[in-house]
A and B are shown apart, each in its own frame.
Chain A
Amino acid sequence: MNEFCLEISSANKSFPGVKALDQATFQLRKASIHALLGENGAGKSTLIKIITGVHKQDSGKLIINGKEETLNNPNDATKFGISVVHQERNLIRRFSVGENLMLNNMPKTALGLIDYNEIAIQSKKWLKILDLDIDPNTLVSDLTVAKMQLCEIAKALSLKAKILLLDEPTSSLSPQESKILFSLLKKIVREEGVSIVFVSHKLEEVFNICDDVTVLRDGQNACTSEDIKNLDRQKLVRLMIGRDEQIVKSTRKNQNTKDTILALKNVKTELGHKNINLELNRSEIIGLYGLVGAGRTELMKCLIGQDKITDGEVIINGKKVTINSPKSALEKFKIGYISEDRKKEGLILIHNVLDNTSITVWSQIKKAIGFVSDGMISKKVDPYISQLEVKTPSNYQLISNLSGGNQQKISVAKWLAAGTDILIIDEPTVGIDIKTKAYLHELIIKLADDGTSIILISSDMPEMISLADKIIVMNNFQMNGIVENNHDYDSVSSKIMEYIHT
């Protein structure tokens, strides 16, 4: 008999411009907890979407209980007992807990009307399996986030789920609540024979509850169904971030200026950062490294005034300043932010190239009455569009029709046009092919050489080591240490790893 209840073998999946999965393999043993790990863009979510019937693999097999199956939509997955507990909660908030659990199989009275007493009785059964002491008549909107999470699991169980996918289940739970969740997960694995796929960026959780580990990197298996006992933290981190990639030897020209342009002193933020100290010189590239959830992007959003800095000093060009909004960050202090999520935050997909590139400069070039003509805009932004070699048939092409790499170039061009002194670049090469990646790397170096100071956020270790002048390692919204980067991969990466774990 096959010991796997779910198997994916050599699955490939491509999206325009990206190969999301490349011969990926995944094997879930019955009644086990299996960690699925990888950095952003490694292909985890694509794999999950294949398992839950949202996407179909281009090639490769999906085997459920020993038989090859095809899932056309999420409903098909549910029929095979595959249920996913999403980060976004999928409960109907204005319904009671009981009704939510029984929603697609409501007990009825002789007249065909819903029998709410029976709903309470039947749903109690599922709540009891999870030791949940909730009155089934409570409205979901009255529950705490942790309890909602548990109700979602109860709902999945009520759908007779035998395979449960948990996507970052603890991201909004307190440590105490997470502990309760974990003991329940172990219980349903033991007593109900459920198999769990556990996706998390918190490695301590993985070591705490998982039996097997699969790590994806760039859509490929960095390891497949490895027994957790054979791994330690260090090995796991190394598998996740990889070290196969070639390091671009930096060819920086003038990185030794001692002209401090930005300094943060003992900064605290409303998002929970503490004791943040950093100095950024002209023409310098500072890297912020850390695993996802370390608070890097959040820190930068506080710096540009989107969230509040509650304590400490921000010093720009020697003067203590307060930045109230991204608008004043750009206009007064010439700080630009290139978002990691270029589709949601960085670009307006249904506008054309010209509009997107010029969005940051309208206020600079508009005439007295606020009038801006296409000609004026073209004059200003065309040099940047051609400098970055954006491949677009014309300036009037819609952004959504460009490839990921070209979209990223537009994101950069937009800030170049704005003439920023400090550029924050967040995960610039996620989901971008190797060639464009190399080009973007050269571009970042050139920008710094030409006098722009850059704060680079990246989870890609080789990228970090090839670009940054010094690397600040963050974890849990704090700075763990600063590594002077000599671009020697082995020594620098092991130093970074030490800091991550302190």
Chain B
Amino acid sequence: MAALFKKDWFGLLIVVIVSGLAIAVLKPAFLSPFNLYVLMVSISYMLIIALAQMIIIAIGQMNLSVGAIGGLVAISFSGLMEVQQVSVPVAVLIGLIIGMLCGFLNGYITVRSGISAFIITLATLYIFKGINLGITEAEPFYNIPETVKNFGNAKIGNTPIPFLIIIPIIITFLMWIFMNRTETGRHMLAYGNSVQSAELIGISSSKVVITAHVISGFLAAIAGMLVVCRLQLGTPNIGDSWLLPSFAAPVIGGAILAGGKVDVIATSLGVLIVAIISQALVIFKIDPFFVQIFLGVMILLAVFVNRYREYKQEARRKIFSSE
């Protein structure tokens, strides 16, 4: 039990359960099948977007171009199917490759130039977005194949669970294994903790940084294509609003932007909290402006809680060392 308390995600889990229960008691409509369905749909792509940002936070960098990559992949995916008549699996494959290429470009330029990823991805954000607008001429692709549309609308049996959510669940699981059980994942965290130490141990910076950016691009690509399934069309503005939420969930989940500390489970719960609260405010018919304010307060709270816990740990260590 004591071990549970030490976990980053434990407090968040309690927040999710308590807030979920409280809302359900006050407004039973919260648990209606339709509402749960909407909730899970929004979680499904937000989760992947958050993980795409989280892996870059893990190495102590930022990826401002997550949304631009997602958007570029989304319109490439729908455009290939509509204009080029490419089959769905091939379009998915090409979409993933584009995402990974974009990520590779981010990582490669960052490593080779030694300039901060913040600046590099700020530049590529505009490049990717520009390509997007050049291809689409700001017009959406409407002719999405039925199979894709059906996938976006399908539910599992008679439950309100959207089919879409299977993909983020699998990805979250794989990401957990990657960050906790693979050497590459651990090296990323070590690098995020201290670039200098990591290099002294013989961890290759370029490998770590490029791999993280490629994975980030891969995840952004999946999120982009999921949104196409969900919207049933490929609009050029997909991804425009991803950037800030992509940071919100990992930060609520205790991630430190300086790097080296991220948690897949806590990030997922962060997504859940943001989604539940946004949904609740809708149910309570609260002005949408408040959603923003609420999100801001959530982030502040999360950061304060983490700071306080660190402070406590520090105090505990001081007591130990004075023994």
Contact = CB atoms under 8 A, between A and B. Distances in A.
Given A95-B190, A103-B186, A112-B182, A90 B200 contact: yes
Contacts of B321: 144-146
Contacts of B313: 141-142
Contact of B190 (A74, A103, A144, A146): A103
Given A103-B186, A144-B320, A90 B194 contact: yes
Contacts of B202: 75, 78, 104
Contacts of A145: 321
A496 B203 CA distance: 49
B272 to A, nearest CB: 24
A114 B189 contact: no
B197 A91 contact: yes
B181 interface: yes
Given A92-B190, A94-B261, A104-B202, A114 B181 contact: yes
B82 to A, nearest CB: 40
Contacts of A94: 189, 193, 260-261
B233 to A, nearest CB: 40
B29 interface: no
Nearest to A77: B200
A179 interface: no
Given A141-B313, A142-B317, A144-B321, A90 B197 contact: yes
A114 B193 contact: no
A113 B197 contact: no
A113 B182 contact: yes
B177 interface: yes
Contacts of B182: 112-114
A93 B201 CA distance: 14
Interface string B182-216: 11001101100110111111110000000000000
A395 B62 CA distance: 38
B189 A113 contact: no
Interface size class of A (residues with CB under 8 A): 20 to 34
Contacts of B190: 92, 95, 103
A152 to B, nearest CB: 10
Contacts of A106: 183, 186
Nearest to A78: B202
A106 B184 CA distance: 11
A282 B248 CA distance: 60
Contacts of B187: 103
Q: Is the interface of B mostly helix, strand, loop or mixed?
A: helix
Interface string B300-320: 000000000000010001001
A470 to B, nearest CB: 39
Nearest to B322: A144
B183 A108 contact: yes
A114 B184 CA distance: 10
Nearest to B317: A142
Given A74-B199, A94-B260, A113-B177, A99 B317 contact: no
Taking each of A78, A92, A108, A112, which has the highest tally of chain B beta carbons within 10 Å of its own beta carbon?
Answer: A92
B186 A141 contact: no
A184 B236 CA distance: 65
A83 to B, nearest CB: 9
B189 A95 contact: yes
A92 B194 contact: yes
Contact of B200 (A74, A108, A114): A74
Contacts of A91: 197
Contacts of B203: 103-104
Interface in A26-41: none
B138 to A, nearest CB: 43
Given A90-B196, A104-B201, A142-B317, A99 B261 contact: no
Interface string B259-283: 0110000000000000000000000
A113 B185 CA distance: 10
Contacts of A104: 201-203
List 5 A-B pairs, minimum CB-CB distance, nearest first: A144-B321, A113-B181, A90-B197, A92-B193, A92-B190
Interface of B: 177, 180-183, 186-187, 189-190, 193-194, 196-203, 260-261, 313, 317, 320-321
23 contacts: A90-B194, A90-B201, A92-B194, A92-B197, A92-B260, A94-B261, A95-B186, A95-B190, A103-B186, A103-B201, A103-B203, A104-B202, A104-B203, A106-B186, A108-B183, A112-B182, A113-B181, A114-B182, A114-B183, A141-B317, A142-B313, A142-B320, A146-B321
Given A103-B201, A114-B181, 11 more contacts: A90-B197, A92-B190, A92-B194, A93-B193, A94-B260, A104-B203, A106-B183, A112-B182, A113-B182, A144-B321, A146-B321
